[in-house]
C-alpha cells in the first residue's frame, strides 16, 4: 500500500520547483552585413540570447514568415515643401515593394498626427493615400505624439510584428512629451522604431521639444532594435526605405527558453557568433499580459 501511495505522489508532484521550469519566448532579429544587406542561412546554434546578462537556451531559429504591420509616419509640415516629389516617389516604391502581403498604414504628423490610410494590404489604396501627403503651410511637427499614438494603437490591436518607420524633414517640433513616455509606449506595444531624419543645417537643440525629440529617437531606435539614419538629401529616402523593407522581410524568428521566475527580466541581448555582422533586436524582453502596464 505504501508503495502505491509513493508512486501516485511521484506522478502528481512536479519534477522540480516551479521556478525551475521554463517557458518559450520569441524575439525577431535582423542580421545584416556592413552594407545593411540581410545575412541568410544562420542556424539556432549561431544565435546567443542573454536576459539580465544570463545566457538562455536557444531552441529554434528560422526565417520569420508572418506578415509585418508597418506604420509609415511621414512629415507633412511646411518643412517638406521642397521635397514633396521625392517623398511621394519613395512612398510609391515602398508600397509596391512591401504591400500585398504586409499591412501598412500611412500617417502624417504636420500640425497634428493624422491617419491618411489605416492598416491595409491593399496597394491601390495606399497609392491613392499618397495624394494626401502635402506640405501644410505654417505648420510644425508633432512627431512624438504620432509615435506614442501609433504605438498605443498597435498595443490595442495586439499586433504580432509592429514597426514604426519615420521620415522627418526636421521642422520645428511641438510635441510636449518627455522622451521616456515614448520609450514606454514602444515597449508596451512591442513596436520597433526606425527613423530617417533629413539633416538640415542650422537645426540645433535650442528648445526643450527638440532635445526630447533627439533623446526619443536615439533611445527608441537602439532599445527597440530599429535603425536610425540621417539623410543628406530627400532623394536618398527611396533607397533607404527599400533597404529597411528588405531587412524586415529577412528577419529571423528566434525562440529561446526562459526559466519561470517571480521577477521578470529587464534586459535582453541577441547576438550571433558569426563575425562582421550586425544584429538588431529589441533590448527589452517580451512582456506577458500579467506584467504589461495598463494604458488607456
pLDDT digit string, tens, across residues 245-257: 999 999 999 999 9
Give me Rg for the CA atoms of the chain. Answer: 22
Give the domain ranges of the chain: 17-64+253-280, 69-248
Tens digit of pLDDT at every position of the chain (296 positions): 555 444 444 444 444 443 347 899 999 999 999 999 999 999 999 999 999 999 999 999 999 999 999 999 999 999 999 999 999 999 999 999 999 999 999 999 998 999 999 999 999 999 999 999 999 999 999 999 999 999 999 999 999 999 999 999 988 899 999 999 999 999 999 999 999 999 865 555 678 888 999 999 999 999 999 999 999 999 999 999 999 999 999 999 999 999 988 788 999 999 999 999 999 999 998 765 444 444 44
Q: Supply the pLDDT for residue 7.
A: 43
Residue with cell 544584429: 279
Cβ–Cβ < 8 Å for 159, 70 = no
Fold of 69-248: Rossmann fold (3.40.50)
Q: Which of 34, 29, 28, 30 is nearest to 275 (CA)?
A: 34
SS3 87: helix
Strands (DSSP E) contained in 77-227 are 103-108, 114-120, 162-168, 192-198
Phi-psi region of 173 (alpha: psi -120 to 50; beta: other; left: phi over 0): beta
Cβ–Cβ < 8 Å for 115, 105 = yes
Q: What cell numbers appear for 129 in the block?
A: 493615400
Q: How far is 140 from 241, CA to CA, in rounded Å? A: 23
Q: How far is 152 from 147, CA to CA, in rounded Å? A: 9
Amino acid at each position: 500500500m505504501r508503495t502505491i501511495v509513493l508512486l501516485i505522489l511521484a506522478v502528481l508532484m512536479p519534477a522540480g520547483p516551479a521556478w525551475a521550469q521554463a517557458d518559450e519566448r520569441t524575439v525577431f532579429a535582423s542580421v545584416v552585413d556592413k552594407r545593411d544587406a540581410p545575412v541568410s542561412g544562420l542556424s539556432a546554434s549561431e544565435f546567443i540570447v542573454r536576459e539580465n546578462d544570463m545566457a538562455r537556451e536557444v531552441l529554434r531559429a528560422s526565417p520569420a514568415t508572418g506578415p509585418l504591420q508597418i506604420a509609415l509616419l511621414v512629415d507633412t509640415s511646411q518643412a517638406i515643401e521642397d521635397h514633396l516629389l521625392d517623398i511621394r516617389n519613395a512612398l510609391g516604391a515602398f508600397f509596391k515593394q512591401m504591400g500585398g502581403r504586409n499591412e501598412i498604414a500611412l500617417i502624417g504628423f504636420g500640425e497634428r498626427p493624422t491617419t491618411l490610410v489605416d492598416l491595409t494590404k491593399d496597394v491601390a489604396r495606399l497609392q491613392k493615400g499618397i495624394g494626401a501627403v502635402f506640405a501644410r503651410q505654417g505648420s510644425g511637427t508633432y512627431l512624438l505624439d504620432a509615435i506614442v499614438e501609433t504605438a498605443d494603437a498597435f498595443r490595442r490591436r495586439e499586433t504580432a510584428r509592429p514597426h514604426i518607420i519615420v521620415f522627418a524633414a526636421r521642422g520645428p517640433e511641438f510635441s510636449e512629451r518627455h522622451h521616456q513616455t515614448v520609450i514606454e509606449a514602444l515597449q508596451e506595444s512591442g513596436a520597433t522604431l526606425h527613423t530617417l531624419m533629413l539633416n538640415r543645417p542650422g537645426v540645433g537643440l535650442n528648445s526643450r521639444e527638440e532635445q526630447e525629440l533627439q533623446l526619443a529617437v536615439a533611445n527608441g531606435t537602439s532599445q527597440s532594435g530599429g535603425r536610425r539614419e540621417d539623410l543628406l538629401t530627400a532623394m536618398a529616402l527611396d533607397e533607404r526605405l527599400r533597404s529597411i523593407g528588405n531587412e524586415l522581410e529577412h528577419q529571423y524568428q528566434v525562440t529561446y527558453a526562459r526559466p519561470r521566475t517571480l521577477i521578470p527580466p529587464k534586459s535582453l541581448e541577441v547576438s550571433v557568433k558569426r563575425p562582421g555582422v550586425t544584429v538588431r533586436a529589441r533590448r527589452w524582453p517580451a512582456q506577458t499580459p500579467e506584467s504589461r502596464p495598463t494604458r488607456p
